[in-house]
Structure 1
């Protein structure tokens, strides 16, 4: 944790509300959040140009993201009909809920949330070889096979996220030469097929 950041930015934010999961399962909203992360604050017009979408469409999706607390307006930059948006700070350590923490009827929203994320992850995996050839100092991968208990895996996850938060920067505090990086980690049992 960086010394100048509030503690709540480092607390896990669990998406245990099915409506929030549904809001983040929408492909355009996911792309909008990615663009806000990559490029910083933007308007619906700017996002529409980047996404090839009409301003009315991007405005609607921005309002949905605001409704569920994923973005916030920047009042000091907004004027008249032009509203500027940024990612909400709560999103530093956002985690999906355990399926057992959702009502059975709400688990489909969790599945859709994961499905959308997996599609993004597969696209990144396909880009990795070309990124590595272009500049191996910026594209790094790791593979391993270890044995852990569930408690050890949970502790590893928490330490991994803490490490990302300690070494990573937000767009507005990144030092010169810092680049946005996609970072993915997933684990699955090796003895299940």
Structure 2
């Protein structure tokens, strides 16, 4: 079976993508530890608060609080068949397309939360760009990138973005479904007008 064909489960998951654009989700994301939790669950797979605390260097009480915040926002879920007693196993919710609500619909407080999330993500993106530059030559083909300049209408830019999200959905799978030779790969895409300066 080719990668393009995929499995019935993968096709169903792609079809089940859910757009999330509430201020509550932005608020849940606008915390550095919560972003680290989501990254860990996305890269390593399900974990308990105890295993997350050990992996992230935090105490279990702190982790439990932030796990509850992520669960309330619908970003993670427990795995009932793996959980027992007081121990709960957590995984990231698959098939989410997280989008920013329109700025005009946000309160001043929500705009501040959105700005904090942007700041946290920018720090991460700058560090990833540094790593890409420093480590690409030794990555054995695991680091790929592209830069382009194209002339687009706003509608075409929106269509390109939607096509990119659809392409990601086609290849998206969690660590539980990945073959043994797969690795977690961080991807970024953004477009902005080149004539702003």
Q: TM-score, normalised by structure 1?
A: 0.90
Question: Could you report, residue by residue, the CA deviation over 1:124-172 in whole angstroms, capped at 9, with x for unpaired residues?
Answer: 1111123312224110111111111111001000101111111232212
Match of 1:118 among 117, 122, 125: 122
Please say if residues 14 and 94 of structure 1, whose CA atoms lie closer than 8 Å, have aligned partners that are also in contact: yes
Separation in 2 of the partners of 1:50 and 1:6? 29
Match of 1:14 among 4, 15, 20: 20
What displacement does 1:90 show? 4.0
Please say if residues 95 and 169 of structure 2, whose CA atoms lie closer than 8 Å, have aligned partners that are also in contact: no
Gaps of 5+ in 2: none
Alignment size in residue pairs = 190
What displacement does 1:102 show? 2.3
Gaps of 5+ in 1: none
1:162-173 matches, cutoff 5 A: 162-173=166-177
Q: 1:136 to 1:144 in 2, by over 3 A?
A: farther
What displacement does 1:7 show? 5.6
Match of 1:160 among 160, 164, 169: 164
Question: Could you report, residue by residue, the CA deviation over 1:73-115 in whole angstroms, capped at 9, with x for unpaired residues?
Answer: 1111111121110001242x22222312324442222212211
- Structure 1 partner of 2:142: 138
What displacement does 1:26 show? 0.3
Query: Is 1:81–2:81 an aligned residue pair?
Result: no
Separation in 1 of the partners of 2:84 and 2:15? 30
**Alignment RMSD (CA, Å):** 1.8
- Structure 1 partner of 2:67: 62
Separation in 1 of the partners of 2:16 and 2:133? 33
Separation in 2 of the partners of 1:188 and 1:165? 23
Separation in 1 of the partners of 2:17 and 2:63? 29
**Stretch of structure 1 that moved more, 119-128 or 103-112:** 103-112
- Structure 1 partner of 2:100: 96
